Amino acid sequence: MLALTAVLIFVVSTSSENAPKMWGSRVIGKPSGPSDTMSYEYNDNYRTVLINDSVLGTMSIKRNQCMLWETKPWGEPCNIFPGYVNITLNNVTAQKIMEMDEITARPRVASTTFFVPHCNFTKPAPGEVDVWTSFPLSRFVKDTPWFRVDFAVGGANYDSTATFDINATSLCFWRGTKLLHKGAEFCTDMVKDESADLRVFRGVFPRKTNISRESFAFAGLKTALTVSIDYSQSGISPEVADCKQYAKVKDLSTLVATMPAYATKTSTGNNSKTTSSGPASTNAFKAIIALLLIPMVL
C-alpha cells in the first residue's frame, strides 16, 4: 500500500503536460470569473442543460458563442468539432451544474460538470447524491486491472431509492441500503457511513479492453451525477490538482482495487451479468432527464 501511495503521489506531482485529456464529467473549483476552455465528447444527439437551484435552460452554440435559450450570451469561445465540443463559460458562479444528456432510444446522462467554488463540497440533502464521495469524476484506468468508484446519497438511515446505470443500462437499484435489483455481479448492498450521514455503494469494476470509454451514472431522488471512465488513458484526473490548490485533498489509494471475490466465480472479469432494467431504475433516470428535455440541441 505504501508503494501504491507513493506512485499516486508521483503521478499527481507531475506536470499538467502529462495529465490525461478530459472529455467528460468533472468538478470545477475556480471560485470566480470565466471558466477555462473545457472539452467534452459530443454528437448531434447531445443536449446541454444548465442548472442552478433549478433548471436555467438549454445551451446552444451559435457563431462561436455559447447561448442560453439561443438568445443570451453565456460564454466564448465555444466551438463544435467532429466528435467533441469546446466550451468556455463567462462566469463559473452563474450555474452549479452543466449536464450533457444524450437523447437516443435509451436516453442517458452523458456527463455532469459541477461548479464548486474552492472545492468546498456541501453536504447533500437526504436522498440526494454526494459529489465528493465520487470525486474525481473522471477516471483514467488503462493501467489498472480493477478500479473502485464510490457513490453515495445523503441520509445514512434514510429509506430512499438510488440507481446505478452504465451507458443507459440499468444495473443496480437500492432502497435504503438494501440492494433490490442485481443486474451485475458488482452490485452490492450500500453501507452506512454514520459519521458522514451517507449511504455508500463501493463499486469495484474490471478494466475493459473492448471499448475506450463509458459513463457510470448514479441517481438519487432528484439529483444525479456521472463518472466518466476512460480505458485508453492512464493517470490522475486534473480535477485532483485543481482541488488540491484549495487544500481539498482526497486519499487516492481508494481509486485502485484488488480483484473482488465475485470475479473468482466468473470465467472472465470483463463480462458482467446484466439485465435490461431494474424494477424502477430506468424510471429514475428517465424522470430526471425528462425534467431537462427542452427542444434545443447544443
User: What is the phi/psi pair of residue 243, to 5°?
Assistant: -75, -25
Distance separating alpha carbons of residues 93 and 226, to the nearest angstrom: 21
- The 3-state DSSP class for residue 228 equals strand
pLDDT for position 265: 56
Residue-wise pLDDT for 57-97, tens only, equals 999 999 999 999 999 999 999 999 999 999 999 999 999 99
Q: CA distances (Å), 21 to each of 18, 131, 197, 255, in order?
A: 9, 21, 34, 18
Q: Tell me if 155 sits within 8 A of 199, measured CB to CB.
A: yes
Distance separating alpha carbons of residues 235 and 220, to the nearest angstrom: 29
- pLDDT above 90 (res 255): no
Output the nine-digit C-alpha cell for 93: 458562479
Residue-wise pLDDT for 237-248, tens only, equals 999 999 999 988
Letter for the amino acid at 247?
A
Question: Bridge partners of 14?
Answer: none
DSSP code for 171: E
Angle at 205 between CA 11 and CA 102, to 5 degrees: 90
Q: CA distances (Å), 174 to each of 79, 96, 134, 180, 201, in order?
A: 40, 27, 17, 5, 10
DSSP per position, 117-161:
GGG-PPPPPBTSB-HHHH-SSEEEETT-SEEEEEEEEE-TT---E
Output the nine-digit C-alpha cell for 214: 463509458
Tell whether omega for the bond before 73 is within 30 degrees of 0, i.e. cis: no
Q: Is 176 left (phi over 0), alpha (psi -120 to 50) or beta?
A: left
The residue ranking higher by pLDDT, 176 or 15, is 176
Sequence spans of domains, the chain? 22-292
Lowest mean pLDDT among 182-196, 198-212, 230-244, 253-267: 253-267
What average pLDDT score do residues 267-276 get? 40
User: What is the phi/psi pair of residue 195, to 5°?
Assistant: -65, -35
pTM of the model: 0.84
